[in-house]
Amino acid sequence: MSRPALALPRLARVTLNELAYAGLKQALLSGRLEPGNVITLRRLADELGTSMMPVREAVSRLAAEHALEVLPNRGIVVPDLDRRDAEDIWELRIRLEGEACARAARRASAADAARIAKLAAAVERAAAATDLHGVLEANNAFQFAVYQAADSPVTLQLIETLRMRSVPHCTAAVRLLIAERPPYYAHSWQNHAALVAAITAREAVAARRIKQSDLRAFRDYVNSIRTRAV
């Protein structure tokens, strides 16, 4: 037994593969990749300063999760959702994210709650600056802090998968939202605040209800923008 005994959870070396995956995931969740955007393995590899190998594995993973789509000899594209998949995903997000909020309210420590409150404030600041990616990033940080407090790694993973498909579908609408409708989303901040309050007060039922009605309202807004755009 020559291995240093305390290296137990031996941190796996950070592979370029993982790096590329994390980068693409972040790009999807922050709205930097939008439906229709076509990218290329070689271009991505150049940007990362690596060969195509790590990138193609990362893309392959995301394609398996339907977060990206590989067009045989044309490139890689961010897929848009057809009506049916969109409905499915909204329904599942409402169910899973609602439940995660309820769990978070039951389990969050005071420190968790404080951290969550801080992140909620950051979202508001980013929106005030009409910074699209800033809003989406801050919002993700806020939401995932809540879901992390729910202390259910598998649920967290499913939510991530769903959001990677859902966010690009919503990006255009969010851009409009923060650019043109400040009064509209003002009441979304009230929901954020209410959620933070419910979690702090350990009111699981209220937390679920707030998150679910917020998501439904957001879904309706996105749908209204999209049907108008067509």
Residues that bind a second copy in the complex, under the rule CB under 8 A: 10, 12-13, 17, 21, 56-57, 60-61, 64-66, 72, 84-85, 88-89, 91-92, 95, 99, 152-155, 157-158, 161-162
The region of 40-48, 86-94, 113-121, 211-219 touching DNA under the rule CB under 7 A is: 40-48
CB of 27 to DNA, least distance (A): 15
Determine, following the binding rule CB under 7 A, whether residue 60 of this chain makes contact with DNA.
Answer: yes
Determine, following the binding rule CB under 7 A, whether residue 43 of this chain makes contact with DNA.
Answer: yes
The burial class, CB within 10 Å (0-12 / 13-18 / 19+), for 154 is exposed
Q: What is the 3-state secondary structure (H, E, C) of 30-52?
A: CCCCCCCCEECHHHHHHHHCCCH
Scanning the structure block, which residue is given the tokens 């350990």?
A: 202
Rounded CA Rg of the chain = 19
Rounded to whole angstroms, the Cα distance separating 87 from 104 reads: 25
Q: Which does residue 54 bind out of a second copy, DNA, none, counting CB within 5 to 8 angstroms by kind?
A: DNA
Contacts (CB under 7 A) with DNA, residues 64-123? 70-76
User: CB count, 10 Å around CB of 223?
Assistant: 15
Determine, following the binding rule CB under 7 A, whether residue 11 of this chain makes contact with DNA.
Answer: no
- Helix ranges (H only) for 30-152 are 41-48, 52-64, 83-107, 110-128, 132-149
User: CB count, 10 Å around CB of 2?
Assistant: 4
Residue number, 96 or 193, with CB nearest to a second copy: 96
CB of 199 to DNA, least distance (A): 37
The region of 29-37, 53-61, 92-100, 145-153 touching DNA under the rule CB under 7 A is: 53-61
Q: Which does residue 52 bind out of a second copy, DNA, none, counting CB within 5 to 8 angstroms by kind?
A: DNA
